[in-house]
Amino acid sequence: MARYVIGYVPGGAYANGISYLELSDTMHIRGYGHASCSTSDEALTWLFDEQKVSPNDVICAGIDTLMSWATVGTFRPMDYFLKQEYPEVENLIFSVNSAYGAMAIHGMVFAHALIRCAPHIHFINESHPKVAYYAQTGFWHDYLTRTDQLNIDPKESHESARWTCNKMFNEVGAVRMWKELLQWINHDAGYSMVQSSDITIPIDDSEWDALYSAWFTYHLGFRSTCRDLMKLEEQGLLTINLSTDQSSRIKLLRQRFAGEDQSIVRMMENRIIIPCELEEKVKYLWLPASAGDANERFT
């Protein structure tokens, strides 16, 4: 019986990355696939129609989207945590008040579709591939390089270059990142299933991000110890210091709903909203809080 872990990274037109890992009965990786498309519908079509992945065999997914929303403040508690832990890449951690449309909308649409059509799905993990890659390796996610950092005129033509959003394909970074990811996949497969020389390196990072999201979710969910950033307060990982105004607003909201729906009161206490259909399924898996080099924790 096959089992599948799905990875999805909504990044706009021609930049929605979709992937899967196929697992054996022993939960080792035995196959994978990845592609890019423009919408969540196209991603679902590729996954279930073109790749013939059965929804009944999907056990979890890693999606680069906001799987929860904060009721108070600019950032969610887990966003504050990541900004404090990794200040070098804090600009990659978006505020819920400034999120991009594809990431915020298509990611949640995809999650709802999976919950409704995949009856055996255990959890959906909020992935953050660019920050996670840095946290794991200590290297910047440099698949694409900003053109203003290179001091290159984007009007000029360059071989094997693609200009989107003032970024250019960085072949050196992309090749390195694919080699690393395939090594991690081979390690969890238990043998050299694929070599980087066997694949054509995509010039957009969405497919790498999607496959990394699937692998990161699989590895932390089934092969390694981890933390769940959706349960920061339970694990004592973070205490958010609210301003006086924020504290007053929370107090008023609690008073307003006192004696009514207790789930609303609990929601206000946690300052987090999760859509009802996803409430018991959402996780935010992250690296274990152990000493030593990040790479050592993944081998």
Distance CA 154, CA 282 (A): 41
Of 290, 287, 276, nearest to 68 (Cα)? 276
- The phi, psi pair for 278, rounded to 5°, reads -105, -5
CATH class given for the domain over 3-70+92-140+172-240+273-288: alpha beta
Q: Cα dist. 143→3, 11, 86, 201, 276 in Å?
A: 29, 15, 19, 11, 36
* pLDDT confidence of residue 4: 98
* Cβ–Cβ under 8 Å, residues 272 and 69: yes
Other beta carbons within 10 Å of 252: 11
Place of tokens 């066997």: 198
Q: Tell me: pLDDT of 84 over 90.
A: no
* pLDDT confidence of residue 162: 41
* Cβ–Cβ under 8 Å, residues 173 and 145: yes
Distance CA 128, CA 63 (A): 8
Residues 6+ apart with CB under 8 A from 192: 186
Residues 6+ apart with CB under 8 A from 120: 56, 57, 58, 59
Distance CA 61, CA 124 (A): 5
* pLDDT confidence of residue 29: 96
Distance CA 26, CA 8 (A): 24
Of 226, 224, 248, 253, nearest to 237 (Cα)? 226
Angle at 162 between CA 157 and CA 168, to 5 degrees: 95
- Give per-residue pLDDT as tens, 142-167: 998 865 554 445 444 444 334 444 57
Average pLDDT over residues 250-273: 60
Q: Tell me: pLDDT of 289 over 80.
A: no
Name the percent of the chain lying above pLDDT 70: 73
Give the confidence band of 293 by pLDDT, cuts at 50, 70, 90: very low
Give SS3 for 99: coil
Distance CA 46, CA 212 (A): 18
* pLDDT confidence of residue 68: 85
